[in-house]
Structure 1
Amino acid sequence: MKFGYKFSNLLGTVYSKGNILFTPDGNSVISPVGNRLTVFDLVNHTSVTLPIQSRFNIRKIALSPNGQILISADESGHTLIINLQRQVVLGEYKFFKTPKVFSFSPNGAIIAVSVLERVFLFKTPVVQKQPNPLVRLSVFQHRSPVVAMNWSNDSLKLIVGCKNGAILIREGKSDKPSFFQVKGSGIINCFFGNAEATIVNAVTPTGLVTWNYKSKEDLEQEEQERKEQEQPEEEEQQEEQIKVTTENKKLSNGRWVLGSFKKFENYGVKCKVKTAVFHVKSKLLLVGFSTGQFILYEMPEFTELYKLNVSSHSINTAAINNTGEWLAFGCSDMGQLLVWEWRSETYILKQQGHSYNMNCVAYSPDGQTIATGGEDGKVKIWNTTSGYCFITFSDHEGPVTSVKYSPIASQNVVFSAGVDGTIRAFDLIRYRNFRTFVSPNKTQFSTLAIDPSGEIIAASSIDTFEIYVWSVRTGRLTDILSGHESPVCDLSFDPINPYLASASWDKSVKVWNIFEDREVRENIQHTSDVLACSYSSDGKKFVASCLDGTIQIYETSTWSQIGLIDGKTDIMGGRGYKDERLAKTSTMGKAFTKIAFTPNGECLIAGGDSKYICIYHVDQQVLVKKYSTSQNLSLDGISLDIDWRKVGEFGHIDTFDKDFDSDDDLSEKNKEFLPGTSKGDLSERTTKKKQRTTSISISPTGRAWACSTTEGLLIYSLDDFLFFDPTDLSIDINPENILLELKKKNYLKSLVMSIKLNEKEIIEQVFESIPFEEVQLVCQEFPIYYLKNFIQFLSAYFEKNQHLEYQMKWVKLISIYHGKYIKSNSLSMISSLRNLQKTITQTYNDLSKVCDDNIFSLEYFKTILIKELKSQETKAKQQEQKNLKQEKVSNDYSDDEEIKEKKNQPVKKTKKN
């Protein structure tokens, strides 16, 4: 078995904090998720998390106009320059504070970065790795922190908005910029209102302020008209109402003049403007409010086009795609990411992760979906291919502690246990809760187990120390198992025999026979509390994880201990946030709380209250590989050592801004606080979240495994073609000889040689070159020794190619000629077979859905085609009849002409002899 699992995707969290972006083509959205970045493809309906981690939570991102360079900055000011297409880091840069705004010039030559009161201009980095990726061109100092920046379309002017309401326009290397001031209010955003950069708009918490640039001729003409009218009082009254003053710098050709002030609708005291985005091409202004409502205006008339409430919480960020059709919103309170098409009034994307921690995870029997349960009482079903959540069940009234799929794939049922004292069964076809299991006395369920037949479910209780058993078909409680003296923390059914194993904090593992005598068959005592247990897929081995950090391995035939894994030092995580003890001396988090066998039963994946997940070989009892689930220093339990510079007299000092977005709430500065009192919400979390693993689940194919952590659902999978795994390789097996045999039409030999070489491109070339009529002969003579590798290739080929009939013929003929061998060696080939089954099922579902959606269209086209063919036939018949008539008429006419010619000819007289 290969152990080259690599990070594949992050599910369960779609948006945390920061700004979101559209790609230049407008088809994808980039969203910051903790210290990672996720790209949502809105056309293909897929999501991919970049395999790049920042040191802390990401707060600002920016994308170059050509879509190649992505820049991200975290809470500490650490900035990464990323090649988005290749998903690699080109370089790093460290600012002394988190940048508030990144702004690329439209021509892509310069990037402006604002850090507190300073604005830095850098040369845009190139698409290659460099030791110094950002080359500084100039720097500007302001009197107040900069909160907004935007470029003009010609990339010559830069507008800068400050927190105190000051707006500056810098043009080239001029030392005297144009200056504007909005009194009594701060700036949300500022931008040029047209392509010529002759209109400046500033969005404030109350309204929109506009300035117009007028040339010298226009000013002289207005001055002349003003003198003629002699009515200067109206302009003075308007300026007093708006409370906006302008310091006009006389320019060579003209100056800036105050235009108008347009106020937003008042939705109450608590309704505040949180974000504002302007799209120059479509002239749309998008304003998001703290109540979850947004308004779309058409500029420069400030006409309200659309208004909608998309969330029950504040909109933290917004974006508009390049065509102006799609609007994207991010809500950090609920972890929501929304993309709305305002013209057709439809959701392009509507995703939301768990509001609180994720507690449990389970793979479906076919490996296509994953079920998760969280502290928010919701059960979500995720598609492993697209990364999207397609159904959410909110029936539980408390946190969900365990989720399990029915072992029978045809049932399409998910079971979940919750603290609310109920176990619910959800139908994945009709998407409803069709059955609820309860106990006689209301209790809190901690774990759940389902027998291999899918007919019996068992759940353990936290407070009563009992195990409840129900019948799935009838929904009735069949038995209550008592005997443990402490809470039961894990349950596991034997996949072969009718036994149920339960692990408890009373230092024992009990094996129950719930089908016959309903008594304890085995009682295995341990030296410390048992935290988790699991059976292997063949039921021959059993493992139990204890509080002392050991994993004990048993043989189920005699229940004798055959091995011991000491993982105390392997799982040892980082130190606590306010813990002054080193990680080595700490006693916390040194035991595995979740363990799971791989499908072939060779290895064991274990995790616990730390950032590490370990893979052990069961027979050899050695550590095979160790994974770190996160490098995010914003979480607790990541750092191993103590930075004594951050430890003060009263404990640890956090040097970073805990509330980075506090500047957005501009009304906070008007509040008065007593000296020495803490500012902000006293009920807000003041401690860091600890990185830990709450659940582990392995795909039935064995090609991937998932773990629910503090950050979300992490998926690790194998990449077949990054590893060189030759089979019976010799010096004669090389690409030249393989292609030579293929040219000679030795299809079977060339295919076997390519499988031995195990090069993806060579195998595909040989496979696609075999004629359709030769497939049967090749399958019939195919050697069974390489059958496992070939089936694995077929499953991978199915996902990326569209030769459906050709592929299905291979699968059908391989099953016909080698079905007995596959059946007798199913355990060794189970991962390849399940992967193939997954891809075929997914293809069938996709095609059946498309066919069902288009069946009426196909019938309509069929009837039209039939009518068209009939009309063509009738026309052809009519044409034939017409041609026959013409031929007959022409023949009659020619006969008449011949007769006339004969009559007109003179008669020749013959002489008589």
Structure 2
Amino acid sequence: MISITSAELNYLIFRYLHESGFTHSAFALGYEAGINKSTIDGNLVPPGALVTFVQKGIQYLELEANLSNDDADMDEDFQFLQPLDLITKDVHELQKMIKEKKENLHRDKPMGKERDVAENERGHEREPSKEREKEKQHREKEQEKERMDNDKERATSKDKEKVHEDFTDVKMIGNKTGTRHDENGIGGEPEPMEICTSSTSLPFEIPSSDVMVLEGHTSEVFACAWNSSGSLLASGSGDSTARIWSIGDGPSSSSTQSGPANVMVLKHFKSRTNEKSKDVTTLDWNGEGTLLATGSYDGQARIWNRDGELVSTLIKHKGPVFSLKWNKKGDYILSGSVDKTAIVWDVKTSECKQQFEFHSAPILDVDWRNNVSFATCSTDTMIYVSKLGENGPIRSFSGHQAEVNAIKWDPSGSLLASCSDDATAKIWSMKQETCLHEFREHAKEIYTIRWSPTGPGSNNPNKQLLLASASFDSTVKLWDVDVGRFLHSLNGHRDPVYSVSFSPNGEYLATGSLDKCVLIWSVKEAKIVKRYSGSGGIFEVCWNKEGDKLAACFANNIVCVINVRM
């Protein structure tokens, strides 16, 4: 039996309706909603999303058809209903709105000679004749079979939805479905699409001459990180390799780098026979930029020098390693695994210093607070703060209602931010067990968070400390942590946002999404200032230390280095 994804099913239905003459924007909205939903939950059929939008589109077409002839004299730019009305209101509410707006229109319509003058000035076109419409339908019927065959071939191709489903299986385990559940049961009505009403000017497209494309990986690139010198960029991929790219100083060029002189390949397998299941899921440079640590789906952590030589292999985990971090001093590495444990490794001896077994489910993220204490989060909804030498957690944070995807300490190490599938971000302090602030502005799962490099403990101590959160609702939101206040919603992406990164001075924020776009925002103005459109979904973005280059890793096997000219 041949199976297709919900995105492919939605596409077939959308194309069929569109080519049968149903061209109203409601159908486009329905198709877009179906695609966005399917890229998140991975289910074969999104719960009623497309059907609801199509139904409302048909109802709206019926309402339009029932308008009186007098209504044909209105401005062609005039609209009784907005797209958001179609999504959020039923047909009876729509009829009522149209009736009221028609009455207002008739009341305000110019009379007599003034009406005739206005009519002539508009000069708008009329509907196509019935004969022309019949001819069009006949022509489309003759081509229907050929088009549907083309649609089927196009819909069954592997695109970003398949990439996302594969990555979700690896990175976001724990029975994650991505479907929002309401308090009264599972599923429910489809969520309204967030309509971007921002009046910001169109972003400046980054020219290809400012982008260096790094080719060589043969599978999705999940992670990337610059070393402290800013000249070396590491990337980790599903092809069981990490790579260290030598970028050099000065502006990037549009040339493609793939030769051996520009890259060191760090193989996480000994032969082609055991190449499978060794995806490089995470990586991190030490503070000096001389050693690179990688975590793999095979459960091993590895340390490499900047020349790409394997220094040591850290073996003790019994499941995939999803997160690892160097401490600031550089003598310990912290790793978190699907085996529910976190391990602190002694870099000098390559041995396990201490294993922490507090969680009851896989660990998704880890982060050092200082050189000897750290936090871990899990699909068990818990966050634990632990310390070397202690047999139990020194602090336990509970409050999230679903798995916790990411945790990050602020630059001073006094505040811990977390984000979850429950669509909330929380701020925690070691001084109390309950959260200081809870942020609830997102509509869907929050995948990752980042602190601005500002405020106490940072290189920009006189600037305001901010938190950025990236969500499956396609938005990034900025928060004032001092008072626990929502600041801005950055509405520029069309698909889930997987990565955010502040520039070193804190003035800009880069975001990467499955919609294949890298956006650079002015933090102060909350506006897009640069945009780069790639050819694959984006899993991570990161700035170099100078803030003049931005790296992005893509689902179509490439890494891009963008020369940022502000």
User: Which structure carries more strand by proportion?
Assistant: 1
When normalised by structure 2's length, the TM-score is 0.48
Higher relative contact order (CA 8 A, sep 6+): 2
Structure with max Cα Rg: 1
